[in-house]
Structure 1
Amino acid sequence: MALFKKRTAGKPGEWFYCLEHKKVEEGPECPAKDRFGPYASRKEAEHAMATARERNVEWENDPKWHDAPASGRDDD
């Protein structure tokens, strides 16, 4: 039995979206590896997955995100 229980970091009033349980929680209940956040409001946390999808599309279409082709190669 552990003498000290490791607490999850966070404060009341911070909202998180748990990826494992697919639910919004105030103050983290689940480990950091399983959540998005913190968010300033419950509403922001409820939209966490939509926000992530939007950001993924932006990153996938950002020309600065992709590696530049190696120089000195002839692909012709």
Structure 2
Amino acid sequence: MGDEQWYYCLKHHRAEQGKRCWFADRMGPYPDQATAERALEIVKQRNEREDARDSWEN
């Protein structure tokens, strides 16, 4: 594993292969560059889904 995985770097605002940046600045790992590039969109969709679920349960 390791360097072949992709991460989204919050500091540099881009997908990067491997653990180049500090762990607190990284999101991932993701299986490929295209998925890592969508990291913020993926998180937003997950948050919206969970918020909707929380409001439905309450």
Taking structure 2 as the reference length, the TM-score comes to: 0.86
Work out the CA distance in 2 between the residues paired with 1:49 and 1:63: 21
- Higher fraction of strand: 2
Cα distance per residue 1:25-65 (max 9 Å; x no partner): 1001111111100001011101001001000101111138x
Structure 1 residue ranges, 4+ long, deviating more than 6 angstroms after superposition: none
Alignment gaps of 5+ in structure 2: none
Identity %: 32
Instruction: Pick 1 or 2: higher relative contact order, CA cutoff 8 A, min separation 6.
Output: 2
| Structure having the larger proportion of residues in helix | 2
Distance in 2 between residues matched to 1:53 and 1:24, nearest whole Å? 17
Bigger Rg, structure 1 or 2: 1
- 2:11 maps to 1:23: no
By how many angstroms is 1:21 displaced?
A: 1.0
What is the TM-score with the length of structure 1 in the denominator?
0.67
